[in-house]
A = this chain, B = another copy of it.
Amino acid sequence: MGKRDNDKPDSETAGGLSRRGFIGASAAIGAVGSAAGLLGGGLLAASSDVRAAGQGKADVAPGELDEYYGFWSGGQSGEVRILGVPSMRQLAAIPVFNRDSGTGWGQTNESIAILGESHKRGWQNGDTHHVHMSYTNGSYDGRWLFVNDKANSRVARIRCDIMRTDKITIVPNVTSIHGLRLQKVPKTGYVFANGEMIVPQPNDGRDLENPANYWTLFSALDAETMEVAWQVWVDGNLDNVDTDYAGTYAFSTCYNSERGVHLGDMMRAERDWVVFFHVPRIEAAIKAGKFKTIGDSKVPVLDGRQAAGSDFVRYVPVPKNPHGINTTPDGKYAIANGKLSPTCTIISLEKIDHLFAGKINEPRDTVVAEPELGLGPLHTTYDGRGFAYTSLFIDSQVVKWSVEEAIRAYGGEKVNYIHQKLDVHYQIGHLKASMAESRDCDGKWLMALSKFSKDRFLRVGPLHPENDQLIDISGDKMVLVHDGPAIPEPHDCIMVHRSKVRPKAIYTRDDPMFAATVAMAKADGVDLEKDSKVIRKGNKVRVYMTSLAPSFGITEFKVKSGDEVTVVITNLDTVEDVSHGFVMTNHGVGMEISPQQTASVTFTAGHPGVHWYYCSWFCHALHMEMSGRMLVEA
């Protein structure tokens, strides 16, 4: 089966360091012109599978459970996905910024309340990039997931007990939230979000054609309230972000320090930078009232631009257009990935302390190594045993290297810090090892999120799946064990040990998701767990009904064409997994009601006639007979 013509091995010398000078200052501009050639070359460079031999068993037998929850951002799909690892089976899709036909996300009154302003604006798409779980003392606490939306500049929160989105915030003053990470210590008090694209401040029509007055901001959201606590005005486009294990810093890569608006301009400078934010000093400055606000927004904004000379922001120059930034699990280093440079830059967080304390004057003196790794380094992850794993987009490889050896080499010692390069298929973006972004980094599995799959799967038309490749890193050598096709674009992921996550099997009746609906019922004199009632107020009709397999509490109700009908269903089933659905035929109406959940939907009654509603979740041998009639009079 299926080995392809272009699946030819490529030697490490051809695919690796020997090409390292290629993306230099002028070569990079050339690369833009010959984009198709560069890309084609990269695609042809990938190669040689290594199959599991003893090490690396991704198979999970029927009836057995995966060891890890994988939380995947869904990219343009606007959702977040849950996979089991190592089986790589998708267990759930959590609708976030998208519209979901199955659950009725974006149509039920409960989800509309959460979508809020996004719903009012008619937004039905999103572009989720970075999903992260809340921490307590640097360990995952299983409480929330947070994820950004690059498309419409938002941040969302997901409750891990029911795996549903419960808050969405539109971040003001910025265009495109790209990087997103969480405060790790003492707990996730802040969600840090990078504004990526530079725009006039305020963006109200002024300075349209004067990019010299375009700027972006770094934002901190309060994890509890999901309100934006403060913003910091910075130089350049913010890309990715990470935080330390001390509770002091957040730090963001910047890929357009030139603040250009065209591709060529964005690559002029030999170096861009990593921006370090000193959180306690920022809080002090806010408290001291040293902020301003922008336009209609009430969010306090501090000026962290270099020219402002603040005490809470420092800019550390690194080679051009860096992309990922990743803290080592021992908390010692932040490692920035070169993208257009074949290097990573290792910055000592202890030296950052000294920089902010004034003991170091030159920001570059916080750099303790700048190892050469290969072409297109984008992200780095860790195994907790001193090794780093960096994705090489152009080389289509994962490189395993030693952080301490790289530091010794930077000090002049002759040491080969590169331990292995493994081909991936193809054009890897993010990569992530199990538990690698927590104190509990365990070095078992590594996920390589490859952007192209080309010929790795059965062809499904012009739009190809991406390829999430599972690599066993538990031994000396990385071993590729599984190719996982993915609906574009699963931008990033985390893998969390199952002991950290404790979802509910059924809803509890006091769930805040439907508290407003419960309150509405109470005001209508309805006991949701007992009553099935129709209440009419003018042309507004509320239809309260229970569901218990295989019956709805009401099997017919009468309305007039054009009435505003709200159907409220409470699922009385208490058996795990006995979800019901409610579909009103020929009305574009459908939603999920899981055990002990209340859900509601409002729609306009259509043309006069008989309109059946039915249960859309297979619930019982008599599921098909679980239906009722809406009788619509003229």
Contacts and interface: CB of A to CB of B under 8 A. Distances in A.
A362 interface: no
A310 B62 CA distance: 52
Given A2-B64, A49-B63, A575-B36, A76 B616 contact: yes
Contact of A621 (B239, B340, B459, B617): B340
A586 B118 CA distance: 10
Given A63-B425, A197-B612, A457 B89 contact: yes
Interface string A76-109: 1111001010001111110001111111101100
Given A76-B617, A209-B631, A610-B199, A579 B457 contact: no
A551 interface: yes
Contacts of A232: none
A625 B263 contact: yes
A65 interface: yes
Interface in A546-591: 548-551, 555-556, 558, 561, 573-579, 581, 583, 585-590
A161 B463 CA distance: 11
A184 interface: no
A314 interface: no
A124 interface: yes
Given A65-B457, A263-B626, A462-B597, A152 B1 contact: no
A4 B577 CA distance: 15
Given A452-B577, A457-B91, A101 B98 contact: yes
B590 A76 contact: yes
A69 interface: yes
Interface residues of A, number: 178
B125 A588 contact: yes
B485 A84 contact: yes
A550 B35 contact: yes
Contacts of A150: 583, 585, 614, 616
Interface in A419-469: 425, 427, 429, 451-465, 469
B462 A127 contact: no
A102 B95 CA distance: 13
A256 B454 CA distance: 50
A520 interface: no
Among A49, A199, A626: residue with most chain B CB under 10 A? A199
B608 A204 contact: yes
Nearest to A450: B618
A627 interface: yes
A632 interface: yes
